[in-house]
Structure formats: structure tokens, C-alpha cells
Chain A
């Protein structure tokens, strides 16, 4: 009996998985109507997936920007798999699109497919994430955030706002150990606060970019360090967790302990507007307009810089109140 039930169960699961894939990749490459070679520039965009609100905002923004810029977009969702992304890029090459843009799922393993694109004379733009390749001619430019700069901006604000104080004790909530944003945001912040000797990072621990991680670490920090003036969290979520811990300790976030975070997602902006967070450095997914500009230049044969940093800003509490209603993510 088992022998009969098992294959049925397995195939049922497989079918369910298949249908899930089908619904996910509704916007598979080549689904757009018009053929390449018309007046409009055709861009093939291979997205990582839809793993977070940040990424969803990124996808929407690219699609909208393409529409306003008059660029025909062929969009594919790789569902966090490199092989899907390589397939998508190959199909863009076969369709002879004018330019290919993609956010690499991982850093390595792109040389072959990028070489194919180069031989077909299709320029490639990297967005948001870099690739680790020795041959820099395989892609035209890399458009994305500069995490070191984000850390610096956070540090500079603190230096600016702690002038005249004798001692400022900072605790740092790091991102996932070894992740590029965590390493770079720590480095940038440390560099910026060198300018003010009164600012000291007295404890630094990873909160894994999550709310519960941020809360647990902050709870422990509050007990082992009686004098904490500032929390620097590598993303909003850990900052939100820290708020809960601070409130549970009977202190007022934003007054007794100031919080600086990076990202500016909706919940973080809300807390900033509520006065619980003091300052947020934006890490913006809205790079669509810049991407379309770069695409036009690249297709026209103009030279573009090898590295373009996303246009990002910072928010104080006042700015958050005005910006919040129009936030897209």
C-alpha cells in the first residue's frame, strides 16, 4: 500500500511546487509584446526575486521608471536562484535586447554568461549588488548604494550633534556577521567618529538584521552598560527592536537614548516621525530613474563611470514627518 501512496504523494507535492513556480514567473522573459529593434530602447532586467519589502519597492520603481523613460522593459524574476538569472540573461541575448541590467543573486559565476553578452555587443549594467569578476570590461557600470558612505553619514550626524558633550557612549547593533552592509556600515561609522574623541563605541554585537535580534542584544547591553547615550543600528529593524528593549527598561527612546539607523523602511520612518528614532540614513531601492539614464547613455555609446552611487538622502525627525505620506515602501 505504501508503494502506491508514496508516488502519488510525491507527485502531488511536485505538482504543487510546479504550479507555484508557474504563478511566480508570470512575467517571464519575452512575455512583452513588441519585438526588439524598434525605436524604443529595449532593456532586459533580471531581478533577484521578491524576498523583502525593499526588493518589491525596487522592482516597482524600475518598472515605473522604464515606463516614464519610454524604455521597453523585459522583466524576469529569478526567485533567488542564479541559474534562473543566467537563463533569463541568455534569453535576453537571444532576443537581442539593447541593454541588460540585473541584480546578481551571488557574487561569483557570471563570467561565462557576461562574456556571451559582450560578444553579442549587448552592454550590461549591474544594479544594487556587485559581481566578483577580474575582467571589469564584462559590464559597463555598477549602480548601487555605498554602504561605507551610509555608515559615514550616520557617524557624521552624531559628531555634529554631540559637540560640547564630554562623553558619548555608543552601542552598535551590527548586521549579520560577514555581510557586506554590516562590514561597510561599521567601517564607515568608525571612520567618521574618529573626528570626535568623546564618542566611544562601548559595545558592538550582531543582531542579525532582525527585530528580535536587536531587542535581545539591546536588553543585554542595557544591563551590562549602565550609561548608554546612543544606539547605532545597521538597519531599521534592529533599531525597532532596540526601542522595545529601551522602553521595557523604563527609559525613553529618542530622549534618554538616541537611536541612529540605516535603511528608512516604512516602520522605521514611522518611528522616526514619532520621535523614537533620532536619525535615519537612507538606503534607497529607488534607483530606477538613474538606471534608465545610464541605459540611455550606454546604448548611445557615451562613456559612463564604472561605479555610480544611488542618490540617497538622510532623514531627521522633522523631515520624516513630511516625507512619510509619500513613502513607497
Chain B
């Protein structure tokens, strides 16, 4: 997140920043915030209100937490060359189960009711994740079809649980998950903790490498002795758990479960966040810090629409223009053209691949050891190949 160009003059770092796939998403994010601040200076102001931070940026963090959490699960699924369309429905089910459980207990305001509701909801999500994983890993159904089953049926299940009604609960403990504050919004703290845990587990152990290898070539991984089925199964279960937790946040934020609308189309937002973050839908290498930036961009876009007063009729056009711009700026081919236009020397054919691995070693996300597995051979190669261009550009 500290990848603001120009913060450092050390050439090695600067090159890596320039080569980073995260550069343009971060620029887009900063540009959005700056545009908002230019239009309305109050956008960036943050103050203390009733013992917690209050401001538009805080809202972005709070409302972006569910998308971030779902995108986190989605990143791992996509890294195995899969996709999970059912996360929105799973989120709706989690909210529905939690709220009906809480509303159904003798004392709906007690903390015990909340614990029961949350545990029940997450256990059910675990089962749903097992189901998705079963279809994909064991039966070998294409992920997009396998998860489509639950995407359509899941909302029906949620409706069945809530009886088609919006279930309202009044429980302060439950409210904390989505609307509570520990100076910062509780929801973003949960999401960031999950992100940190995933980064730690997948990047400090071989798990991340295994996930990526399954995504790059499942058959070869299996022949190499990897339990690719177990890995695929695990990521779907994890994605469903993330979705369930996000569903709890969404329903807790408004203290109500709306089976029809909770988490509607959030799977698309999550996939978009992952893609904006630079993870390829073809599987393989993934970037967790990229997903974080992607999710923040999407929520900032939404908040921008509201606070700039963009008419609802053109909202989608505005959003799509920004997203297309970010995706284009990220595409290796477009970046290549971009460089050539700046007359920085002939393009080398490996630049696209090299810059990809460069970003994983980049300084973009302190604290998140993203891409420990980046091949040591390619990273210096990138530095070497981009170094001359750097000098030309600066002169």
C-alpha cells in the first residue's frame, strides 16, 4: 500500500515499483481518493466520534470488509484455476441462519444466542464448502458449473430459512461484527486478520507454492506426488467460510437478514477485486496484497458514486470505465505498448513474465510476505533488464 511512486529514490526499489503489477491499481486507488478530496475536502477528514474513527475513508474500510474477505477466499480458489460463484448465496445463508437462530432463542439479546447463531452459521458454511469441493475436486465438475448450483439454489435455501421475510434482530453483541468499532471498524480488523493469517500460512509454508502448482498444472502436480484433490477441496471450504463470515458482517451491519439481497452479486465484486489485484483467472500465481488493493478500489468506487452525486442511471457506466481502465493498464501487452511509446528502448519479449514475478518481491505490501516463492532467477533478471530503461526515463 506504500507503493506511492516517488517516495524513494533508490533505483532498485523504484524499478521494482515501476515493474510492479500493483502499481496501476494503487495509482487508481490514490487517484480516486484524490478526486474525491478535490471535489469535497471533507472526504479525507477523519475525526473521533463516540470513541471511534469517523469519516468517509473509515466507511470504505468498513463496507469493503465483506468484499475483501470473500475476495480473499476467491483468490485461493482462482489460484487453483477454479472459481466460486456461490459465495454470495453462502453469505446470504450465513446471515439467514445467524439471524433466525438469534431471533428464535428465548433471549434474543443475550451473547449466548449470538455465539450459537454464529457457530451454526459457520458450520453450515463449512458443509456448503465441502459440497462445492466435493463437486469440483472429487467429481471433477467444472468449477463454474459446480458452484453455479449453489449460487442459484443457495438463495432459495436462505429464503427457506427466513421464510421469505426480512429477519430483524436487536442484539448488541451481534451488531459488533459488522457495525462495531475498536477505534477502527471491527469488520475490517477481522478481514485484515484473516488476510494476515492466510499470508502467513501460505507464504511462510509450502502451501502457497502447492496451491499455485495445482493451478498451473493439476496433472503434473498430481504426478509429482501432490494431493491436489485435498488442496482444491480445502480452498473451496475456506472460500465458503470466508463467505459465511462476510455474510455475518453484512447482516450484522444492518441487524437484519435479507435473504433476497444480502451479498447479491458480491461474487462478481470479489472476482473483480482478485483480477484487479493482478491474479490471473487462468490460475497459478496469486497476489494477496493485490486482492486487498482490488477490494479497496471497488468499495472506494461505490462510495465515490454516492458522495460525488453521480446519477444512478450512469453509475454502472462510470464504474465500468474505471475498472476497464485499471484492467487495461495492468495488461502486460498494454504496458508493453505504453513503455514503447515512451521511447525507452526496444521491448524484450520476456518483460511481461518478468515483471509479474518482480511484483511478488516488491515492497508493495510490508507485513505480507507475498511471493516468497518467486523464482530467484527471474527477479534479478528483471532488475537487470529494466535498469537501463530507468536511466533513460529519468534523464
A and B physically associate: yes
> Which A residues are closer than 8 A to B by beta carbons?
2, 5-6, 9, 13, 20, 50-53, 55-56, 174, 177, 203-206, 208-213, 215-217, 219-221, 223-224, 226, 237, 240-241, 244, 248-250, 267
Q: Which 9 A-B pairs have the closest CB atoms?
A: A220-B306, A211-B254, A206-B312, A224-B307, A210-B261, A220-B307, A177-B312, A223-B56, A53-B165
Enumerate chain B residues within 8 angstroms of A177, measured Cβ to Cβ.
312-313, 315
A244 and B254 contact, CB distance less than 8 A = yes
Say how far A139's CB is from chain B's closest CB, in angstroms: 28
What are 17 contact pairs spanning A and B, CB under 8 A?
Answer: A52-B165, A52-B260, A204-B312, A205-B306, A206-B315, A210-B261, A211-B166, A212-B250, A212-B261, A212-B262, A217-B306, A220-B56, A220-B306, A237-B258, A244-B179, A244-B255, A250-B50
Say how far A173's CB is from chain B's closest CB, in angstroms: 10
Say how far A124's CB is from chain B's closest CB, in angstroms: 27
- Once the chains are docked, how many angstroms separate the CA of A53 from the CA of B116? 26
- Once the chains are docked, how many angstroms separate the CA of A253 from the CA of B6? 46
Residue among A206, A224, A237, A267 with most chain B CB within 10 A: A224
Query: Which listed residue, A5, A51, A224, touches B260 by the CB 8 Å rule?
Result: A51
Report if A249-B309 is in contact (Cβ < 8 Å); known contacts: A52-B164, A56-B164, A210-B258: no
- Once the chains are docked, how many angstroms separate the CA of A209 from the CA of B260? 11
Interface string of B262-273 (1 = CB under 8 A from A): 100000000000
B139 and A9 contact, CB distance less than 8 A = yes
Query: Which listed residue, B54, B56, B140, touches A2 by the CB 8 Å rule?
Result: B140
Say how far A222's CB is from chain B's closest CB, in angstroms: 9
- Once the chains are docked, how many angstroms separate the CA of A208 from the CA of B262? 11
Main secondary structure of the interface of A (DSSP, over half): helix
Say how far A215's CB is from chain B's closest CB, in angstroms: 6
Enumerate chain A residues within 8 angstroms of B43, measured Cβ to Cβ.
223-224
> Does B55 count as interface, using CB distance less than 8 angstroms?
yes
Report if A240-B254 is in contact (Cβ < 8 Å); known contacts: A223-B43, A224-B42, A224-B43: yes
A249 and B54 contact, CB distance less than 8 A = yes
Cβ-closest chain B residue relative to A175: B312
- Once the chains are docked, how many angstroms separate the CA of A240 from the CA of B255? 10
Q: Among residues 306 to 333 in chain B, which have CB atoms less than 8 Å away from a CB atom of chain A?
A: 306-309, 312-313, 315
Interface string of B103-133 (1 = CB under 8 A from A): 0000000000000000000000000000000
A220 and B164 contact, CB distance less than 8 A = no
Using A223-B43, A226-B42 as known contacts, list a sample of 4 further A-B pairs with CB atoms less than 8 Å apart, ordered by residue number in A: A205-B306, A206-B312, A240-B254, A250-B54
Query: Which listed residue, B55, B56, B164, B261, touches A53 by the CB 8 Å rule?
Result: B164
Enumerate chain B residues within 8 angstroms of A211, measured Cβ to Cβ.
166, 254, 256, 258
> Does B302 count as interface, using CB distance less than 8 angstroms?
yes
A208 and B253 contact, CB distance less than 8 A = no
Enumerate chain A residues within 8 angstroms of B262, measured Cβ to Cβ.
212
Residue among B165, B250, B313 with most chain A CB within 10 A: B165
Report if A223-B59 is in contact (Cβ < 8 Å); known contacts: A9-B139, A216-B302: yes
> Which B residues are closer than 8 A to A by beta carbons?
40, 42-43, 49-50, 54-56, 59, 63, 139-140, 149, 156, 164-166, 168, 179, 250, 253-256, 258, 260-262, 302-303, 305-309, 312-313, 315
Say how far B48's CB is from chain A's closest CB, in angstroms: 11
Say how far B47's CB is from chain A's closest CB, in angstroms: 10
- Once the chains are docked, how many angstroms separate the CA of A20 from the CA of B156? 10
Say how far B313's CB is from chain A's closest CB, in angstroms: 6
A223 and B307 contact, CB distance less than 8 A = yes
B312 and A174 contact, CB distance less than 8 A = yes
- Once the chains are docked, how many angstroms separate the CA of A174 from the CA of B305? 14
A221 and B149 contact, CB distance less than 8 A = no
Enumerate chain A residues within 8 angstroms of B307, measured Cβ to Cβ.
220-221, 223-224
B140 and A205 contact, CB distance less than 8 A = no
- Once the chains are docked, how many angstroms separate the CA of A50 from the CA of B179? 31
Enumerate chain A residues within 8 angstroms of B258, measured Cβ to Cβ.
210-212, 237
Enumerate chain B residues within 8 angstroms of A56, measured Cβ to Cβ.
164-165
B309 and A203 contact, CB distance less than 8 A = yes
- Once the chains are docked, how many angstroms separate the CA of A52 from the CA of B163? 9
Enumerate chain B residues within 8 angstroms of A210, measured Cβ to Cβ.
258, 261
- Once the chains are docked, how many angstroms separate the CA of A56 from the CA of B162? 13
Report if A248-B261 is in contact (Cβ < 8 Å); known contacts: A177-B312, A212-B253, A216-B302: no
Enumerate chain B residues within 8 angstroms of A20, measured Cβ to Cβ.
156
Say how far B94's CB is from chain A's closest CB, in angstroms: 14
A224 and B149 contact, CB distance less than 8 A = no
Say how far A228's CB is from chain B's closest CB, in angstroms: 13
Say how far B174's CB is from chain A's closest CB, in angstroms: 13
- Once the chains are docked, how many angstroms separate the CA of A60 from the CA of B154? 27
Enumerate chain A residues within 8 angstroms of B256, measured Cβ to Cβ.
211, 240, 267
Query: Which listed residue, A217, A220, A249, touches B49 by the CB 8 Å rule?
Result: A249
A224 and B166 contact, CB distance less than 8 A = no
Report if A250-B49 is in contact (Cβ < 8 Å); known contacts: A50-B164, A56-B164: yes
Report if A51-B164 is in contact (Cβ < 8 Å); known contacts: A216-B63, A221-B306: yes
Enumerate chain B residues within 8 angstroms of A241, measured Cβ to Cβ.
254
Enumerate chain B residues within 8 angstroms of A50, measured Cβ to Cβ.
164
- Once the chains are docked, how many angstroms separate the CA of A172 from the CA of B40? 20
Report if A248-B179 is in contact (Cβ < 8 Å); known contacts: A177-B312, A177-B313, A208-B261: yes
Enumerate chain B residues within 8 angstroms of A208, measured Cβ to Cβ.
261
Cβ-closest chain B residue relative to A16: B153
Cβ-closest chain B residue relative to A209: B261
Enumerate chain B residues within 8 angstroms of A249, measured Cβ to Cβ.
49, 54
Enumerate chain A residues within 8 angstroms of B250, measured Cβ to Cβ.
212
- Once the chains are docked, how many angstroms separate the CA of A13 from the CA of B149? 10
Query: Which listed residue, B55, B166, B255, B303, touches A237 by the CB 8 Å rule?
Result: B166
Cβ-closest chain B residue relative to A49: B164
Report if A205-B166 is in contact (Cβ < 8 Å); known contacts: A9-B139, A224-B40, A241-B254: no
Say how far B197's CB is from chain A's closest CB, in angstroms: 26
- Once the chains are docked, how many angstroms separate the CA of A177 from the CA of B313? 7
A267 and B166 contact, CB distance less than 8 A = yes
B55 and A223 contact, CB distance less than 8 A = yes
- Once the chains are docked, how many angstroms separate the CA of A56 from the CA of B250? 25
